[in-house]
Amino acid sequence: MRKGETGRDRRPNLVLILADDLGFSDIGSYGSEIETPNLDRLAAHGLRFTQFYNCGRCCPSRASILTGLYPHQTGIGYMNGNHGMPGYTGDLNNRCVTIAEALREVGYQTWISGRWHVTPVNPSHHNWPLQRGFDRFYGTIHGAGSYYDPVTLARGNEYIQPEGADFYYTDAISDNACRFLEDGKADQPFFLYLSYTAPHWPLHARPQDIVRCRDRYLAGWDELRKRRYQRQREIGLMESGWPLSPREPGVPAWEQAKDREWQALRMAVYAAQVESMDRGIGRVISCLEKSGRLDDTLILFASDNGGCAEEMNPKLRGIHLPEKTRQGCPVHFGNDPSILPGPEDTYASYGVPWANVSNTPFRLFKQYVHEGGIASPLIAHWPSGIASRGGFCRQAAHVIDIMSTSLELARATYPAEVRGCPVLPCEGRSLLPALQGKPSEPRILYWEHRGNRALLKDHRKLVSRAVASDAGKWELYDLTDDRTELRDQAAAHPEEVKVLEQLYEDWARRCGVMPWDTVNDRPIATDTSS
């Protein structure tokens, strides 16, 4: 351990901030009109990655972030339902180690505030945060839920009820993170996992926050998307040769859209959710500043998948939806133009058109492994460790890299076994060289979610959709000049497709990836809502 004259352990702290269903362009420093001054401040004094990837869906991404493995290797190849196959148990297995487990072993304090979502909701606590390396936990075990009355809200190993009539989950996550920081030992480094549910549906925001955003989206999704793309080019985020992908098929031009005021309000509530999260992040930054720990803390901010195009329908009802509010009023479930989103007695989403805006300039959404589903912002802020301020890192990186980054930061070793069980080798690589401006070595990255498949080898990307009219057909793109995936080269390069496909198949066998039809035919033992 590196200690100063006072005996304080001088190893850097780590704050990992994860947004939920936040699109690539949904914060100001990535082109958005949504006001995120605290994240923008981190970007201005840190480093922005232009090609950082998640796993395309909430709990698979969270499993990979925590372990440095691909989702199927952890048992969470799909969601939290048990499909009876090793890669699809829906529960962290005993062949992986979490960042918290690895860092606590070498003297770090470990805390999580927010969404867990890597174990089913059942009576067993074997994979709750305190059982997987965290010293303190406040948040929800399950994924989505009401921001006013979240189900599976817990502290430590006990379920609890929301406190106070003005309870709002995003604020509670931020406030508990600050409490952990204030209560922590000043002479010991820490790992804080700040895992927001925002801005995942439902569209829940405080009235005063909605008012600030209410008129911002009356210009419509076409205009807002063009403005974001233009800002991305102006700030240097986008390479000039990347065209803006077309409006999603089936989405009308804004001028032909019905219920335009209601449509604009949906996005306004979503923006209010993001802005509330940003204010909470600001409070966490203030806590670090007041304690004198900001300069020696690596802060990473990312999203677990791209913007979500899901429309609310009765099939999505699950344990995450209370039938009534805390006051006993029925909850109105669905996207109904006669019901304004935002209050506790509503349960709505912002839908395909606005998700298309969130993922500017890319196409497709959460659950797909085209760029719109897997491209995430990544902001890295570390005053004592990043020399280049306000710039961009254009190296490809992935959430599997966070484990290796954490270990190098803490001067820790990846374990060979945990609790007597052998651990799979880490799949990621440390981001610290990238933060220091060093070039990266060539690598191959892989994805599979719900039958959607992809491989990225240097700048060549092989990708397919499971639900397209030509389901399973490979597409091939050169991301150097076609990051928005508009010029398919598969027909022109059949031999290259074969080579890359074989690499994908080898990886799939190694990591326990099964054909989606096989997985989907198995009965599900647990709720799988997102």
Three-class secondary structure assignment of 91-145 = CCCCCCCCHHHHHHCCCCEEEEEEECCCCCCCCCCCCCHHHHCCCEEEEECCCCC
pTM across the whole model: 0.96
Those residues with Cβ within 8 angstroms of residue 275's Cβ, 6 or more apart along the chain or in another chain: 34, 35, 36, 209, 212, 213
Q: Is the pLDDT of residue 439 over 60?
A: yes
Beta partners for residue 204, in sequence order:
342
pLDDT at 144: 87
- φ and ψ at 42, to 5 degrees? -60, -40
Q: Which residue would you say has higher pLDDT here, 315 or 272?
A: 272
User: How confident is the model at residue 317, as a pLDDT?
Assistant: 61
**Domains within the chain, CATH numbers bracketed:** 13-441 (3.40.720.10)
193: which 2 tokens?
């996992």
4-43 confidence digits (pLDDT tens): 445 678 899 999 999 999 999 999 999 999 999 999 999 9
What's the DSSP call for residue 268? H
Active site residues: 58, 117
Which of 463, 405, 481, 524 is closest to 56 using CA atoms? 463
What is the model's pLDDT at position 69? 99
Residue 496: other Cβ atoms inside 10 A: 15
Over the chain, what is the mean pLDDT? 94
3-class secondary-structure state, position 46: coil
Tokens 């065209």, located at residue: 243
Q: How confident is the model at residue 319, as a pLDDT? A: 59
- What digits encode the pLDDT tens for the residues 187-225? 999 999 999 999 999 999 999 999 999 999 999 999 999
Residue 119 CA to its chain's centroid (Å)? 17
Instruction: Identify any residues that bridge with 16 across adjacent strands, giving them in sequence order.
Output: 193, 300
For the residues 63-85, what does the mean pLDDT come to? 95
What per-residue string of b and e applies to 429-449 under the rule 16 or more CB within 10 Å gives b?
Answer: bbbbebbeeeeeeeeebbbbb
Average pLDDT (487-502) is 98
Angle at 307 between CA 255 and CA 68, to 5 degrees: 165
Joined tokens for residue 153 = 């809200």
pLDDT at 3 over 70: no
Lowest average pLDDT, out of 241-245, 247-251, 319-323, 526-530, goes to 526-530
**Cβ atoms of 13 and 184 closer than 8 Å:** no
Query: Is there a contact between 17 and 62 (Cβ–Cβ < 8 Å)?
Result: no
Three-state secondary structure call for residue 299 = strand
Q: How many CA atoms lie within 13 A of 388 on its CB side?
A: 15
User: What are 154-181's pLDDT values in tens digits?
Assistant: 999 999 999 999 999 999 999 999 999 9
